[in-house]
Amino acid sequence: MKELEDRIRRDGRVLAGGILKVDDFLNVRIDPVLMDHIGKEFARLFEKDKVTMVLTIEASGIAPAYSTALALDVPLVFAKKARSANLGQGDVYSARVRSFTYGRDYDILVPSRFITSADRVLIIDDFLANGFAARGLNEIIHEAGAETAGVGVCIAKCFQPGMKLLEEECLHVEALAAIEAMDENGIVFREMKSGEEK
Ligand code: 5GP
């Protein structure tokens, strides 16, 4: 998605450790017009996947997941982060996730009444790095007996292993901006195939 790539080039900041800061427009200060376009683009990319709900993790996944759910006209559910899964068993689904940015493990929790075995769930997140967040959500979807319709991420860092791991699980993965390499001198985006609108 050219609009997102241009914005990353203009306002993104590359930090040490393979971290890209996009606080100016994507996950602290949020540009609602860009977010609206992101939601519409995910809705276009997953329009054939019979999505019945969107699932993300608080907090930075919520904005793109909301605009996508709105564009697809389906509900949005977000997993809560907790230090440990000590809530009543049976009424929540949970998975253990390693945080990319904080380097510690945490549990993600979704009340079980919000996902049914009839659901086809679209996972949306702001970033894909090692794939732990998306794989944790995928685990919860399987625990619920539902199906994963796909994974949509605003930014995939292709030099980290998440993209490959999710594709190996035969998931339909879409990234609106796919970064091949980045350092203090700049960011190299993966070329989109001709005809792709992304
Ligand atoms: P993963 O679970 O794929 O390793 O990492 C994805 C999660 O870590 C995302 O939910 C995102 O919040 C965070 N994350 C990963 N890489 C970055 C990054 O470069 N910048 C920011 N701001 N967050 C990131």
pLDDT tens-place string over residues 85-123: 555 566 999 999 999 888 899 999 999 999 999 999 999
Phi, psi of 145 (to 5 degrees): 75, 15
In single-letter form, the type of residue at position 32 comes to: P
Q: Mean pLDDT, the chain, as a whole number?
A: 94
Q: How far apart are CA 25 and CA 29, in angstroms?
A: 5
Nearest atom in ligand 1 to the alpha carbon of residue 135 is 2
* Closest CA relative to residue 140, chosen from 114, 163, 160: 114
- Write down the pTM of the prediction: 0.95
**Does 187 sit in the ligand 1 pocket, CB within 6 Å?**
no
Q: Is residue 194 very low, low, confident or very high in pLDDT (cuts 50, 70, 90)?
A: very low
Question: What's the pLDDT score for residue 102?
Answer: 83
**Does 162 sit in the ligand 1 pocket, CB within 6 Å?**
yes
Task: Report whether pLDDT(84) > 90.
Answer: no
Yes or no: say if 184 and 14 are a contact pair by the CB < 8 Å rule. yes
* Segment 117-171, tens digit of pLDDT: 999 999 999 999 999 999 999 999 999 999 999 999 999 999 999 999 999 999 9
Task: Report whether pLDDT(172) > 80.
Answer: yes
Record the tokens describing residue 62, joined without a space: 């919520």
- Give the residue, by CA position, lying nearest to ligand 1 atom 22: 21
Question: What's the pLDDT score for residue 175?
Answer: 98
**Does 165 sit in the ligand 1 pocket, CB within 6 Å?**
no
* Segment 35-70, tens digit of pLDDT: 999 999 999 999 999 999 999 999 999 999 999 999
- Bridge pairing between strands 53-57 and 76-82: parallel
Phi, psi of 125 (to 5 degrees): -150, 165
b/e code 105-129 from CB counts within 10 Å (16+ = b): ebbbbbebebbeeebbbbbbbbbbb
Which DSSP symbol is given to 175?
A: E
